[in-house]
Amino acid sequence: MYSALLYKEWLKIRWAYFGMMLLSLLAIIYIALNLAYYTEFMTAQGFWGNVILLGFPFYSEIQYIPLLTGIVIAVVQFSPEMNLSRLKLTLHLPVEENTLLLQMISIGFVILVLLFALIALLLWIIVGIYLPVEVVITVLNATFPWLMVGVASYFLTTAIIVEPVWTRRLILTPFALGFLDLFFIAENPHMQLNLFLILFALLTSTLILFSGYHFKRGIK
């Protein structure tokens, strides 16, 4: 049954997913070209000095792409369900309702994690070509919150879309914006902070159960 659900969700998500993957790859290619250009003209040490001393964020092109990806995937996955209340069809399937909703978001979560892992891997490889491993780890630590915000934005957007009560949507939206902003606050993200961000992002996954409960109760 899970594979059938995966099939349905993939049919909805695939083109947007490939689109966001292409956008991510373009951003990484741009970062790679920049890196090649600056290390050629400034040497690797000089370039990294500029990054440290002047705060030159050579990888910032990737900053908002995971956030946007999370929102886009949530919209293409759940808008067709809410349009004409198609979610009733899904909830009528012979599976427990909360299990169905959690399975649906687990599919979105897994494909986002795969994309974000690809982004991290490519950054690792590209930065590793020009700069030492300590710098690579610093870059990955710094970009980690940007990847996790993609997960949180996905969970929060699904909860907002599935929520049938407009007033609750209006309350959830500023809460979601404030929550997502937390992921951009830290100037020097480190391992401990990133572990907290993982926990924060995963906690938002439960919100869809409340929205689903309101939908199921027929609250409008």
The residue ranges that bind another protein (CB under 8 A) are: 1, 3-4, 7-8, 11-12, 80, 84-86, 88-89, 91-96, 216-218
Q: Round to the nearest angstrom and report the end-to-end CA distance of the chain.
A: 30
Q: Which is nearer to another protein, 4 or 191 (CB)?
A: 4
For residue 163, the minimal CB distance to another protein (Å) is: 15
- CA 57, CA 13: separation in Å to the nearest integer? 31
Report the amino acid identity of residue 115: L
With respect to another protein, which residue has the nearer C-beta, 88 or 190?
88
Nearer to another protein, 8 or 168 (CB): 8
Q: Tokens standing for 162?
A: 């599935």
- Alpha carbon 120 to its chain centroid, in Å, reads 12
Kindly state the smallest distance separating residue 98's Cβ from another protein, in Å: 12
Nearest residue (CB) to another protein, 91 versus 126:
91
Residue number with CB closer to another protein (169 or 216)? 216
Buried b (16+ CB within 10 A) or exposed e, 163-184: bbeeebbeebeeebeebbeebe
Taking the complex as a whole, the smallest distance from the CB of residue 108 to another protein amounts, in Å, to: 16
Burial status of residue 95 (CB atoms within 10 A of its CB: 0-12, 13-18, 19 or more): middle
How near is the Cβ of 164 to another protein at its closest, in Å?
A: 11
Nearest C-alpha neighbor of 74 from the set 148, 152, 144, 19: 152
Q: How far apart are CA 129 and CA 70, in angstroms?
A: 29
What is the nearest approach in angstroms of another protein to the Cβ of residue 7?
6
